[in-house]
Every structure is written in structure tokens, then in C-alpha cells.
Amino acid sequence: MARRLPVALTLAALALTLGACQAAHASTDSAWHPALTQPGNDQPSSAPPVSHAPSRAPSHPAAPSPAQSELPDGPPASAPAAPSAGHGPAGSLTTTGSSAVALTFDDGPDGYSMAVLDLLAEYHIKATFCIIGRQVAAHPDVIRRIVADGHSLCNHTWDHDLMLQKRSAAQITAEMQRTNDAIHAVVPGAPIRYFRAPGGGFSPQIVQIAAGMGMKSLYWQVDPQDWRKPGPQAIINNVIGHTRPGSVVLMHDGGGDRSGTVTALRTILPNFAGRFTLIALP
């Protein structure tokens, strides 16, 4: 398709520019760009991603295509008739809609989730956890505690499929439903009111399907790229420097070694506790 050619060239140039960047974690939610992710690379483990969103990055993909009557397989279009009406891809939410700040943690439950929960409890801060369904059975205690501590739940697909935009409606629905079922097997009836596409790769179809299941599509406004393990101080500087009233902040409690994130939280949480109202997304 002619209209894709310049995009492809731009992306190729970007990929070359970024080629020197170190390997990092494929499940990142800021390396969302589907055209820059590797097909089938949906394991939340150790494959290198090729994309780097800008650090603040609710980075809208440049221009919405005029030809969005077909389901897009390029960058997410901005806000068509999408139920969420936010400013992220396909109308996903980047802010809380109030002055409150929402901390969100992706890619758990995993080995660092309890440490994050401990710190949140220590500072009496509520947050939102975006859950990978297939990890639930191994960490039911984490799921129970998220609910018991008053945090909220977000569906982050069954297997962190970074190519979710390419899937059929039935496949997308199954990714979401299977995850909600796994969570509800542990915490029956717990509300799951948010969905976050792996890598933030929302499409209008994904947003619509999530809405049909009672879930708002959740992007972010502040992204310290903690999955790249930049070190605690870089995470602290990014999050404290960029968060403002209403921000949705993206961090990770799963998907790899999150010790840097945990260390950063020891500074971020007390700082925020004195500056913002922090909420579990309602």
C-alpha cells in the first residue's frame, strides 16, 4: 500500500537510529509500536524489543489514517467512535479524569509483585495492577492481596500478545475473557474495569471489545521505561519529574528483574504521598 511506504521508511530509519540501544525486555508497554515488534514475540521474558517510545510518551502515532473503515494494522488511530474517549491510541485513557494520580503496574503477577505491594501498604497508597492471565495460577496470593489491599485490577491479556491488533475479534475476546476468568477463579466477582493492551498497542477494535466486556482502555501519560532497567535514579527522576495531577503512571512489577523499580518506589512513594492524591482506578 502506497500510504504505508513512507511510514515503513520512517520506521526503518528509526529502527536503525535506535539500533545501538541495548537489548531489553519484550513485554514492555512502552515499546508498543506493533510495526516495530517482532511477530510472535509475545513472551513477557527476555527477547529484545526494537522500539523505543519517547520517555514521556503518550506519543500518539503521527497521523490517523483516513482509511480506518478497515481494521487498522498500522499505528493505532486516534479516537474514532471509541468508548473510552481518552487521549491515548484509539481513545485509550492517559489521565484519571481528576487531579488524582494513578500508579499502574504491568506484567505481573510475578516475583516482585509482593515487594511492590509491601511498599504501597507501607505508604498507604492504592494502585492498579494490569494482570497477565497465564501468570495468575502461579501467583494466586498476589491476586488475592491486590484485591484485599484495595487496589484495582486491569486485564493485560492472557499471554501478553504484542500483536493483538492483528488478531481476530474472537481471538481478542478470548485473550480478555480467559484472563478475567483466571482472575475470577482466584477472586470471584472482583471488578476488572480496565484493559491495557500489551505495549499499549490499542486499536479501535480492541477498545470496542474491551468496552463490551465492561473494561475501559488504559494507556498512560508517564513512562519511565523501567523495563529497560535504567537504574533506580533514572526511574525516580522520570516519574517525579513528569507526573502531574491527573497522570496515569506506567511501571512494571513483572516481566523480569524489577529490583530497580522496587528501589525507585522507596523514593517515589513518599514523595508522591505528600504531593498527590493517589488512587486505585475506580
Catalytic residues: 106, 252
Per CB under 5 A, the segment of 27-35, 77-85, 118-126, 208-216 that binds Zn ion is 27-35
Q: Under 8 Å CB-to-CB from 174, ≥6 apart: which residues?
A: 158
Residue 253 binds Zn ion (CB under 5 A): no
Closest to Zn ion by CB, 64 or 143: 143
106 belongs to the binding site for Zn ion (CB under 5 A): yes
Which CB atom, from 106 or from 110, has the smaller least distance to Zn ion? 106
Number of shown-chain residues binding Zn ion (CB under 5 A): 5
Q: For the CB of residue 210, give the shortest distance to Zn ion in the complex, in Å.
A: 15
Least distance to Zn ion from the beta carbon of 29, Å? 4
User: Closest approach of Cβ 32 to Zn ion, in Å?
Assistant: 9
CA distance 76 to 90: 6
The span from the CA of 53 to the CA of 200, in Å, is 11
Among 11, 24, 26, 27, binds Zn ion (CB under 5 A): 27
Q: Cα angle at 25 between 201 and 93, to 5 degrees? A: 30
| Structural element, H or E, at residue 154 | strand 152-155
- Closer CB to Zn ion, residue 77 or residue 161? 161
Full 3-state SS string of 114-131: HHHHHHHHHCCCCCEEEE
How far apart are alpha carbons 149 and 280 in whole angstroms?
10
Binding-site member from 11, 29, 215, 228 for Zn ion (CB under 5 A): 29
Say if residues 12 and 36 touch (Cβ distance below 8 Å). Answer: no
Indicate the residue among 27 and 94 with the shorter CB distance to Zn ion: 27
Residues that bind Zn ion (CB under 5 A): 27, 29, 106-107, 198
